[in-house]
Structure 1
Amino acid sequence: MSEPSSSESTLTLTTPIPYLPGVGPARATKLRKLGLRIARDILFLFPRNHTFPPPPTKVADLADGEPATFIGTITDAELVSRTPGKSIFAAIVENDSGAVRIVFFNQPFRAEQLTFETKVRISGTPKLAGLRWEFTHPQYEVVQEGELPDEDAPGGLILANYPLTEGIKQSDLRRLARPLVGELAGQLTEVLPERLRSEAAKRLNAAGLELPDVLPDISEALRGIHLPESKEDLTAAQTRLVFQELLVMQLALAMRRRSLTSELRAPPLECSATVRNRILRRFPFELTGDQRRVMDVIAADMARQFPMNRLLQGDVGSGKTVVAIFAMLVAVAGEHQATLMAPTEVLARQHYATLKRMLADSRVRIGLLCGSLGAAERRDTVEKIRTGELDIVIGTQALLYGVEFHRLGLCVIDEQHKFGVKQRVTLRDGGVDPHYLVMSATPIPRSVAMTQFGDVDLSTLREKPAGRGAVHTYLAGDSWRDRWWSFVKERVAEGRQAFVVAPRVGPEVEAADEELLEVIDAT
């Protein structure tokens, strides 16, 4: 493909990177590593952050120790090598107000960048060296005429700092972005109507932000993110772009939820008042208001013809397992199976023991499937699951391999983050999806939950069941070791229990063993 002639060189959003002014094939290859292939890509290469240098200053206004910016032309430069590996590069930068000196130690490559008659913008903290102001190791940028304000400008220029790749400097990307933003930003189609941008600005301002009455349109936002004239412009541009990204994400999640509810089918499991009361009578304690509220929501979810996907979060001891047992018994009452998948065998056996104890006098049949089962026992359990002889199955990831459910209606997953999302698919039964209840003791803010669990409804247990003691957590250093072991001895002497968790098998465990033996001997 030949390069367009000058008469055909009008830039568009789809102009290939090699045809942009000052790029060429070699630099275009490097820019591709940043994902830049056409002009539009540069508009959406957002800065990592921004630098806010002071406004340009005249020589007469410089002050010792006060950060300053100076714009001028290099009128003299010299590289002096004193000994191998040690050098000094110094240059004189001059404008109509006077001249300053810039110095770089052990950076000889500066001599190739800061050459005679190069215009630069330097920022740093000057000091008076003899009769001349001197900047040591200043930040600098080589600029072209008209790119930056001169020393009479009322304010400084905010500099965009872009992600870089080998062979590409900040000055390269800034020089590339500035004209493109000015020329091409107006060619973009605005996708957010003014009414929506106005309503968003109104709500954000009510939340404490200081934004204009209407969020910027896309062209203004791109100019504000690449070439902000003030911090207020930058904040407004960033807010507009973040708002658009979050809005698009939420629309995508809403479309996904609609797809799930229209395409997937689950068994409707009605929970009548009689069934509900019969289940609740099994709990020998008073439920919290949160537990009752969440049970009502889950019962309504499970009565629908599309899968429940609910994330139940709450601190340890908040009663999540009780809610899960309620949901599983609703499934069993609807003549379907339920399974609870735990991340470890220890936790699976704990859940199994709890259910066996609570349902000891019922007709509900409970099974356990985990990795430590013998081959014959596993085959027997798997066969009972297939034929429907087990109503509730507690297990680990062993449930995902070689297991066929008779009529799976509900899957409870304890600690969702321990399992991959794709593992859900293996629990589908003949094109019918079970309902899902995911439990987590890890606090997840609603905004994060909507991001990571876009197809999941969120419920939170905040109330603690009555009679639960307060849990106290302490962080102690080595200096507290003797005090803590004394505390352990006192509690053990009272007939209470203690356990120690060591980071790994080795000296730490051996040391803990010795101290535990002392505790045992003392009691």
Structure 2
Amino acid sequence: MLNEPVTTVKGVGGKFAEALALVNIYTIEDLFYYFPYRYDVFEIKPLGELIHEDKVTIEGRIIHDPSLSFFGKKKSRLTFMVETEGVAVKVVMFNRAFAKKQLNQDDVVTLTGKWDAHRLQITVSNYKVGHAEEQATIQPMYSLKGDLTNIKLKKAMSTAVRDHINDIEEIIPDTYLKAYKIPDRKHAILAMHFPKDRQLLKHARRRFTYEEFLIFQLKMQLIRKLNRESTTGNTQHYNPSSLQEFIQSFPFELTKAQTHTLNQILADMKSPYRMNRLLQGDVGSGKTAVAAICLYATITADRQGALMVPTEILAEQHYKSLSEMFGDRASIVLLTGSVKGKKRREITEAIKSHQIDIVVGTHALIQGDVIFANLGLAIVDEQHRFGVEQRRVLRDKGLQPDVLFMTATPIPRTLAITAFGDMDVSVIDEMPLGRKEIDTYWTKENTLDRVLNFIEKRVSAGEQAYVVCPLIEESDKLDIQNAVDLYNQLQVFYPSTVQVGLMHGRLSSAEKEEVMNKFAANELQVLVSTTVVEVGVNVPNATVMVIYDAERFGLSQLHQLRGRVGRSDKQSYCILIADPKGEVGKERMKIMTETNNGFELSEQDLKLRGPGDFFGKKQSGLPVFKVADMVHDYKALETARVDAQEIIESNKLVEDQQYQELYKLLENDSYMKSKLD
């Protein structure tokens, strides 16, 4: 059987088993599912199609006898020229002195090695005298550790396939195999390890991509279903007419996207199940208005609401804007780490006795002394900044409150499906009327005077500007502009009529608040800052955002920063000062100047950075797939999600015999158990 130790494979002894354990191969099944990380295809392509620094195979005729030179102890270099397609290509072979006797003028040779397109040179790793074989061979290459070699691993794989391939059981029902024209598990494993041709390998990879996505999506959908069913009796009977009056009191009309997402959230609140929903909306798309309406709905249902945000500045801002929106319709308090002693005790007592309707705060909301009388709705803003444990504690504060997570980081659909597969997702993909697109420019530091003069021009028109840089103080390691230096420079550069402020993470909460209040009141016209202004800060009069060393930020962060301006009907500008050295950095700047659409940017960012970097490796919670790639295989991910939803909703896992193997696999899965505990 496949769960037997790998030592039951003929030829795998104790020492070899130790080497296999380094790559987590302990059973025969582990061996079968240890797939190659790449395949070398020794196929001859025209010179014009060869990619610089790729491993390639060429065939040619030797123009002259090879020249051999020695350097150092036992080190040699063999060089000669071959003619192929009427072009002379230089051939270099290291430490192959013996080859001089085998290679002669006018011999036809097949050479494999690293291609240098600039020098028309190949550095050879394999060669043979004679023409290439008709059928290009595909060589699986495995990730290795310790004494493990490709040859040893392939030999063990070959023996395991010979003796145990028929023990492999199919887990995907036949209907899906036929519908998607994918091979069964047994033949797919054979093709992954011993591919006869590219076509068979392609179909085997397609099969395992779908299998991995389907299993993961089944886990997500099953967890979602079980979580929903375990939280019945959570209906919030809010007052629709009071809610309509509240919406009509706004000085603006909701966009279609806001109305659509609001209806989805209110339907969840009305349902007997606990809401677990993610609300995505680009910077300035109006998530706060939607959150306010939902909080009001929970008040009319005689429950309490909580809004948790990552920073004190943001908490204070939300508190002010909600207080203005609600007026005397609700009692709202602000609870952050700065609120201490008697004042904190009074607030927590008022929350406990339901004298408070809405609590706005930072993670101080989840401290042990905060006890809600009847928490109906918990909203977590910029949720990817909070740890899973913090979110769980907040959920557990009330009697199964509805939970709404909000983010202004536009998350690509592929990541939303994967990272938040156990949640419902709503998207506000429309901007409020009257908003002008922000003009974005990319320039280098040698144009700084022009940029500063442009800021002065906008300030003289009564507007304001942010200047953002990555570090607070000078660093020996990084030659990048820092906030303190820049602040001093600008104070010298601008006349006394232009007031410059400084904002960074090392200031106390009171100092930060003072700076922000002065900027909001236009007592400061230019604010030099680190990225603390990134999330949620709202100063409609600010129309210029200058970002120093912009190549040091990811696209999503640049977009968040850009979103601090363009918050009124005035034309706004974002100026990126950057001198990126690599192609990715240049591409990032180019994309920023071409689009204001956060979702488009997030898709591009995902392609440039990869999924692990999007949320940060530790916080991402993203699964590691062996074959599947979320970015490249997004269509398969979407297909697997739809299939998984249908399987779970129709209860096929339990009721249909065809799904028995899939059900067993999920039942014994450690991830499922940890999620459901």
Give the TM-score range, shorter chain: 0.7 to 0.9
Distance 1:522 1:376, change over 3 A: closer
2:327 to 349, 360, 363: 360
C-alpha distance 485-390 of structure 1, shift in aligned 2 (>3 A): same
Asked if residue 393 in structure 1 is aligned to residue 359 in structure 2, the reply is yes
Shift of 1:369: 0.3
Measured after TM superposition, the shift of residue 88 of structure 1 is: 3.5
Contact 2:305/2:359 (8 A) holds in 1? yes
How far apart are residue 67 of structure 1 and its match? 2.5
State the SS of the aligned residue for 2:380.
Answer: strand
Q: Structure 1 stretch 18-27 or stretch 228-237: which is displaced more?
A: 18-27
Deviations 1:90-128 (A, max 9, x none): 9xxxxxxxxxxx9963699x99xxxxxxxxx995269xx
- The SS at the match of 2:465 is coil
> CA separation in 2, counterparts of 1:515 and 1:504?
16
Q: What is the CA-CA distance between 1:195 and the residue it aligns to?
A: 1.5
Specify the SS of the correspondent of 2:140: strand
Q: Distance in 2 between matches of 1:395 and 1:66?
A: 59
The aligned residue for residue 489 of structure 2 is 514
2:156 corresponds to 1:176: yes
- Aligned position for 2:40: 51
| Residue of structure 1 in register with 2:536 after alignment | none
Residues 487-502 of structure 1 correspond to what in structure 2 (within 5 A)?
487-502=454-469
Q: Distance in 1 between matches of 2:159 and 2:152?
A: 12
Is 2:129 the partner of 1:154?
Answer: no
| 2:147 pairs with 1:167 | yes
Secondary structure of the residue aligned to 2:135 is coil
**Identity percentage over the alignment?**
33
The answer as to 2:453 corresponding to 1:486 is yes
For residue 54 of structure 1, report the CA deviation from its aligned partner: 2.6
Q: CA deviation at 1:517?
A: 4.0
SS of 1:325's equivalent in the other structure is helix
In the alignment, the residues of structure 2 paired with residue 400 and residue 351 of structure 1 have an alpha-carbon distance, to the nearest angstrom, of 18
Structure 1 residue 315 displacement after superposition: 0.8
Bigger mean CA deviation after superposition, 20-29 or 41-50:
20-29
For 1:64-213, what aligned pairs fall within 5 Å after superposition?
A: 67-68=57-58, 85-88=73-76, 105=94, 124=112, 137-139=124-126, 154-199=134-179, 201=180
- Aligned position for 1:6: none
Matched with 1:42 is: 31
Which sections of structure 1, spanning at least 5 residues, go unmatched?
Answer: 1-11, 56-64, 71-79, 91-101, 112-120, 127-134, 142-149, 202-213
CA distance change for structure 1 residues 239 and 397 in 2, over 3 Å: closer, same or farther? Answer: same
Q: Quick one: distance in 2 between partners of 1:407 and 1:453?
A: 27
Offset at residue 518 of structure 1 (A):
2.2
> 2:494 and 2:282 mapped to 1: Cα distance?
31
1:381 counterpart residue number: 347
1:224 corresponds in structure 2 to: 191
Give the number of equivalent residue pairs: 446
Distance (whole Å) between structure 1 residues aligned to residue 319 and residue 132 of structure 2: 78
CA contact (8 A) 2:383 2:406 kept: yes
Counterparts in 2 of 1:444 and 1:36: CA distance versus 1, 3 Å: same
CA distance in 2, matches of 1:269, 1:86: 81
Residue equivalent to 1:320:
287
Three-state SS of the structure 2 residue aligned to 1:67 is strand
| 1:68-90 deviation per Cα after TM superposition (whole angstroms, max 9, x unaligned) | 589xxxxxxxxx99665452399
Equivalent pair of 1:414/1:440 in contact (CA under 8 Å):
yes
1: CA distance between counterparts of 2:123 and 2:228? 65
User: In structure 1, what is the Cα distance between the partners aligned to 2:345 and 2:33?
Assistant: 57
Amino acid at match of 1:181: V
Q: What is the alpha-carbon distance in structure 2 between the residues aligned to residue 444 and residue 266 of structure 1?
A: 32
State the Cα deviation string for residues 12-67 of structure 1 (Å, max 9, x = none): 53453234333321111111111112222211101111111137xxxxxxxxx992
- Aligned structure 1 segments of 4 or more residues deviating by more than 4 angstroms: 80-84, 150-153, 428-431
- The residue type equivalent to 1:370 in the other structure is T
C-alpha distance in 2, partners of 1:68/1:21? Answer: 39
Q: 1:307 to 1:514 in 2, by over 3 A?
A: same
Partner SS for 2:29 = helix
Query: Is the partner of 1:450 in helix, strand or coil?
Result: helix
1:275–1:123 distance in 2 versus 1, CA, 3 Å: farther
Greater relative contact order (Cα 8 A, min sep 6): structure 1 or 2?
2
Indicate whether 1:469 and 2:405 are aligned: no
Contact kept in structure 2, 1:270 and 1:299, CA below 8 Å: no
**For 1:460, what is the secondary structure of its paired residue?**
strand
What is the aligned-residue RMSD (CA, Å)? Answer: 3.2
Structural mapping, 1:395-410, within 5 Å: 395-402=361-368, 403-410=370-377
The residue matched to 1:270 in structure 2 has which SS?
A: coil
Supply the distance in 1 between the matched residues of 2:158 and 2:92 (Cα, whole angstroms). 29
Shift of 1:295: 1.2
The residue aligned with 2:201 is 234
Instruction: Report the TM-score, using the length of structure 1 for normalisation.
Output: 0.78
**TM-score calculated relative to the size of structure 2:** 0.61
